[in-house]
Structure 1
Amino acid sequence: MQKIESITAMREAALALRAAGRKIAFIPTSGALHAGHASLIRLARAEGAAVVVSTFVNPLQFGPSEDYQKYPRTPAADGMLAEKEGVEILFTPTAEEMFPKGFSTSVQEEAVSKPLCGVTRAALFRGTLTCWLKFLNIIQPDLLVLGEKDVQQLAVVKKAAADLLLPLAIMTGPLVRDADGLAVSARNNYLTPTQREEALAVVRALRKAKEMVDSGVKISDRLVAEATHIIGQKRRLRVIYISVVDPRTMEPVREIVTGQCLMAVSYWVDEVRLTDNMPL
């Protein structure tokens, strides 16, 4: 496995892969690699592609009061996981390499990014799109591989890729959960055992919503009310939003059509912000 820090070296390595007739799959991450990322690497390798993974905590996607400075950074463990899973290139640029002094361009999607996380995290999707588009220009992959855990991010990227006619395919991998049911996330590292136990109420709420749909409930307000009730019983949890949405547009859905909507949740566990979702 190659570890590359500079944009010039990354471009050269990608050119060499293409010259050798290889298909390139790219998985952008913020590092702190976990089982969810490993599942995406396996998905990409199953396509016969040379897998490039970035581990970059992107400063553009964090607001001024968010956790950029303390976000988990585990470069040694990232390298071990990437090598074990068969990654060919681990791209680890610095913020200065990606966004040198004078960098002043941004990319904004104006519809799918607006509800849900877009209401309270104005920088998130603009920063993500700006960074990832630069990555795509550097690497020029054939395949972009993304997880379904960050469901709004996925929808925003798909919309931008379609609008801008990006010359790549997008493949998605399912959300991965730990044995206790909590959605795998780097920010889970912040949780104490007590906080983690309380966060499991969100998993129970999502599963209850799915059970209600399976039993015939079709009105989204009933699902949201039940999920809110379950989560509200835990004193450390504060709901930011619970919404039943179309996964392509993130627009709210009033009546459930099985297989065409999901419940999205964002919540605080004390000072830790997490998200989760469940297809309905």
Structure 2
Amino acid sequence: MEVIRSIIELRQAIKRYKVNHMVDSKIGLVPTMGYLHGGHASLMTRAREMSDVVVVSIFVNPIQFGPGEDYETYPRNEERDLALVEIQGADIVFIPTVDEMYPQPTKTKIIVSERTELLCGASRPGHFDGVTTVVSKLMNIVQPDLAFFGMKDAQQIAVLQQMVRDLNMNVEIVPCPIVREKDGLALSSRNVYLSSEERRQALVLSRSLREVKGELDDGKTVTASEVREKLTSMIVSSPLAVIDYVQVLTFPELILLQDDELLADVHDQVMMAVAVKFGTTRLIDNILFMPKEALSLV
């Protein structure tokens, strides 16, 4: 495993891999912000299965954090991260500094409209502009064939798929399933912020999503408004929960369903998505549902 910190050296290393192995080697990229966990490990496992060369980037990207967010305190542990990446069998770990990625103030940004204007995009203005810009930079540097992202941030996947399609980027965005603790909590680097009581109450997110999806799978006929109300009432039963959003929308188009729209009649995959704060920690989670109308079109 090579640990590389400069863009020039990374490009040289990838070129060397192609020469030494085969020119048409598939390159898989796993972009991360570090403080790695089992969810990241699952991305690397998938990348290893689908790629000849696996590149993992570790970079806490400052331009996707807004004023007052946790950029300075975002958890970091390079030694621990490198140990996990090596276990997963990555070929290259790219750990640039901020100066390496942004040697001068960025005057060019990649902006995806519509898909970034709701959910986390509404709560965190400019966040996705930072995500799309840094991911496009990484793709230009690495030139991957495949890029792997977790479905916990489903909106991010939808935004990046739109960016790749609109800009004719020669890379496939590979969505990977959410990885959860045994009790259902979605793995996140920010889980470390939670107190024991906050963590216990945060289980309401996966529990409420699973319960509502179970009812839908059993054929219960409900409107989008009824789904939102059910999720909201379950979440606020946890005293520490402060809801940012509870939404029902199509995926990956990210079109909000109308209040009176029956989920059973929707012709697209449906996502129930939530963002909730417990103390100072903002958690996101989601679950997908395929209505019978949509299944009939597959």
User: What TM-score range do you get, normalising by the shorter chain?
Assistant: over 0.9
Deviations 1:31-81 (A, max 9, x none): 011101111111111114211000100001000110000001011111000
Q: 2:234 matched to 1:225?
A: no
> Quick check: 1:17–1:24 contact (8 Å CA) kept in 2?
no
> Quick check: 1:266–1:273 contact (8 Å CA) kept in 2?
yes
TM-score w.r.t. structure 2 length? 0.91
> Quick check: 1:7–1:138 contact (8 Å CA) kept in 2?
yes
> Quick check: 1:259–1:279 contact (8 Å CA) kept in 2?
no
Q: 2:20 matched to 1:11?
A: no
> Quick check: 1:240–1:267 contact (8 Å CA) kept in 2?
yes
Partner of 1:177: 180
Partner of 2:249: 245
Structural mapping, 1:95-106, within 5 Å:
95-106=98-109
Partner of 1:57: 60
Instruction: Give unpaired runs (5+ residues) of structure 2.
Output: 290-298
Q: Percent identity among equivalent residues?
A: 38
**Separation in structure 1 between the aligned mates of residue 38 and residue 164 of structure 2, nearest angstrom:** 26
Instruction: Give unpaired runs (5+ residues) of structure 1.
Output: none
Equivalenced residues, count: 280
SS where residue 156 of structure 2 aligns?
Answer: helix
> Quick check: 1:17–1:23 contact (8 Å CA) kept in 2?
no
Deviations 1:159-207 (A, max 9, x none): 0000000011221210110111000000001011100001011111111
Partner of 1:142: 145
**Separation in structure 2 between the aligned mates of residue 115 and residue 211 of structure 1, nearest angstrom:** 26
Amino acid at match of 1:230: M
SS where residue 45 of structure 2 aligns?
Answer: helix
> Quick check: 1:30–1:55 contact (8 Å CA) kept in 2?
yes
**Separation in structure 1 between the aligned mates of residue 94 and residue 51 of structure 2, nearest angstrom:** 20
Partner of 1:27: 30
Partner of 1:255: 262
Structural mapping, 1:1-280, within 5 Å:
1-19=1-19, 20-21=21-22, 22-215=25-218, 216-253=220-257, 254-256=261-263, 257=266, 260-280=269-289
CA distance 1:24–1:250, shift in 2 (3 Å): same
Q: Displacement, 1:259?
A: 7.1
**Separation in structure 2 between the aligned mates of residue 213 and residue 237 of structure 1, nearest angstrom:** 24
Deviations 1:53-111 (A, max 9, x none): 00100001000110000001011111000000001001000011101123321110011
Amino acid at match of 2:150: G
TM-score w.r.t. structure 1 length? 0.97
**Separation in structure 2 between the aligned mates of residue 239 and residue 152 of structure 1, nearest angstrom:** 18
Q: Displacement, 1:17?
A: 2.0
> Quick check: 2:28–2:51 contact (8 Å CA) kept in 1?
no
**Separation in structure 2 between the aligned mates of residue 150 and residue 241 of structure 1, nearest angstrom:** 14
> Quick check: 2:145–2:170 contact (8 Å CA) kept in 1?
yes
Amino acid at match of 2:53: A
Q: Displacement, 1:234?
A: 1.3
**Separation in structure 2 between the aligned mates of residue 54 and residue 247 of structure 1, nearest angstrom:** 27
